[in-house]
A and B are shown apart, each in its own frame.
Chain A
Amino acid sequence: MFKNLITESTAKSPWLFHINSGSCNGCDIELVAVLTPRYDAERFGFKLAGSPRHADIVVVSGPLTQQSLPRTLRAISQVPEPRCIVTIGSCPQSGNVFKGSYSVMAPLSKYVHVDVAVAGCTPKPEAIMDGLVQATEILKEKRKAWLEAKKNGLKDGPKAETEQEVPAAEDVPASGEEVQQ
């Protein structure tokens, strides 16, 4: 009865969780600009969530340094399905000017499925907004795919093709693993 309502709402209330994976702060400022009165992302229902567990869209900025990569992936894995991953700026896409450095692990798409990549150094707020609104449509598609899979007997829905190998990180304790219901 509520299925359609929930599917529609999924696209209308996307909450963001922002991960800075070693960004120079440029993209972070632009993301904040998206939320200010001038651009006002809240009119689409966007809200900055404090905890990854509340989020629908994970926004990643920065070139994924060796230290931040395992933590970024852990934070992403804590976001409940359906979720979308949006990268901001050229850094998570290619490494940008930091490419070739021993400590830069970009691109992010090597490790997880990236839904929307907003390029630019830094992208304009309009571009970020466009990317985020595209992500809401993808969220809706994911929700539909999940319902479809449930109908076909997959109990937990399709696990996204995202869970790939996480590079070893000795200093991140494994005890914080989640039991997923």
Chain B
Amino acid sequence: MAIVYSSLVYLGYILIFPGFLFCFVAGMLITGIDRKIVAKMQKRVGPPILQPMYDFFKLMGKETIIPAAANKTVFLAAPIVGLAAMVVIQLFIPVISTPILYGTADLIVILYLLLIPALAEIYGGSASGSPYAGVGLSREMVTIIACELPLVLIFLSVAKTVGNAMGTGLCFSLSDIAAYQAANGSLMLKASMIPAAIAMLLVIPGETGNHPFDAAEAETEICEGMLAEYSGAPLGIYKLTHAIKTFTLTALFVALFLGGIGTGIVLLDALIEFAICVVLTIIFISLVHAVTARLKIEQLFKYYWTAVSTIALISLVLAWFGM
């Protein structure tokens, strides 16, 4: 009986609160707000804030065409795998205080889980047999590699700072990081962590494939790359995964650098988290989108491996010397 009950509770976690439904609403709203803000910055009226929801439900009702050259199983399974991985990350991220799933190496698990949606897109794209997808997936791989190095450096510097304080060397546990921040104030307030926080904010648009870094999905150039052959429900699921990714990464930023500001009431904390995510999205995704043009893939790579990595490295060095 207890097993049935606890599995039901976990199902609730996965499907409703920090899981699917919450992610769905938060991700869609954040994307909608992003589109609206970009439109306002370009002096347009812009789409309604619920526009991504309309897009999603419309795609659910469309016909799904499978190209003759495609591998049907991989083509249809890839979007679902990507979405599932994206939802699982949300279970690891504490809503201000405690996460649902936790262990000793949450950050490393998250690092791997963050890769899965992008890899699923690569698998799905290559299974579709389209040359546009071929170009797109090669660029997507470069984007992943470009964003991975600064992300690892950021995670390491956070882990080292918290680990120093806890006396455990490196601390990859997000619940410990949250506990440390609740006791000692947000990591954002530590001088040595400010470069890492800035680097993280610069990584977010690249990781989500937003505007200046969207060479992999350049819709005017290579027909949205890996998504070129997708139509109907699978395309909708990819769009949903993208929306959730924006929310997840900003929520991860909140968990890493702005922890310890919670009230203890879960719903209120979720609202606070969502509000901070919206502010971060507006400043670091919408504003950047509105004022920049698309970078070439080698420019993107160079930017992340030199500028952003250097900023992250400063933090890591400071953390290593215990500052």
Residue of B nearest to A44 (CB): B47
Least CB distance from A33 to B in Å reads 13
Q: Choose the segment among A64-72, A77-85, A88-96, A161-169 that binds chain B (4+ C-beta atoms closer than 8 Å).
A: A77-85
Least CB distance from A5 to B in Å reads 5
Please tell me if B207 contacts chain A, counting CB pairs below 8 Å.
Answer: no
Known pairs A49-B219, A50-B223; A43 contacts B46 (CB<8 A): yes
Known pairs A80-B62, A143-B61; A43 contacts B228 (CB<8 A): no
Known pairs A51-B132, A80-B63; A45 contacts B231 (CB<8 A): no
> Sorted from nearest, which 7 A-B pairs have the closest CB atoms?
A50-B223, A6-B61, A80-B63, A9-B57, A50-B219, A53-B231, A51-B223
Binding site for B on A (CB under 8 A): 2, 5-10, 12-13, 37, 40, 42-45, 48-51, 53-54, 56, 78, 80-82, 143, 175-181
Least CB distance from B29 to A in Å reads 16
Q: Cβ of B229 and Cβ of A51 under 8 Å apart?
A: yes
* Interfacial chain B residues near A13, Cβ < 8 Å: 51, 54-55, 58
Residue of A nearest to B43 (CB): A37
Known pairs A80-B63, A180-B65, A181-B66; A54 contacts B231 (CB<8 A): yes
Contact with A along B246-261 (1 / 0, CB 8 A): 0000000000000000
Q: Cβ of A53 and Cβ of B46 under 8 Å apart?
A: no
17 further interface pairs, Cβ-Cβ under 8 Å (given A13-B58, A54-B231): A9-B54, A13-B55, A40-B39, A40-B46, A45-B51, A50-B223, A50-B224, A50-B228, A51-B228, A54-B235, A56-B62, A80-B231, A82-B62, A175-B68, A176-B68, A178-B65, A181-B66
**Bound form: Cα–Cα A5–B57 in Å:** 7
Q: Can you sample 28 A-B contacts with CB below 8 Å?
A: A9-B58, A10-B61, A12-B51, A12-B54, A13-B51, A13-B54, A40-B39, A40-B44, A40-B45, A42-B35, A42-B39, A42-B44, A42-B46, A45-B48, A48-B219, A50-B220, A50-B221, A51-B228, A53-B229, A54-B224, A78-B65, A80-B63, A80-B64, A80-B65, A81-B63, A82-B62, A178-B65, A181-B63
Residue of A nearest to B221 (CB): A50
* Interfacial chain B residues near A180, Cβ < 8 Å: 63, 65-66
* Interfacial chain B residues near A143, Cβ < 8 Å: 61
Binding site for A on B (CB under 8 A): 35, 39, 42-48, 51, 53-58, 60-68, 132, 219-224, 227-232, 235
* Interfacial chain B residues near A179, Cβ < 8 Å: 66-68
**Bound form: Cα–Cα A51–B220 in Å:** 9
Least CB distance from B46 to A in Å reads 6
Q: Cβ of B61 and Cβ of A7 under 8 Å apart?
A: yes
Least CB distance from A147 to B in Å reads 9
* Interfacial chain B residues near A177, Cβ < 8 Å: 68
* Interfacial chain A residues near B54, Cβ < 8 Å: 8-9, 12-13, 45
Known pairs A9-B54, A81-B62; A37 contacts B44 (CB<8 A): yes
**Bound form: Cα–Cα A145–B66 in Å:** 23
**Bound form: Cα–Cα A63–B48 in Å:** 36
**Bound form: Cα–Cα A180–B63 in Å:** 9
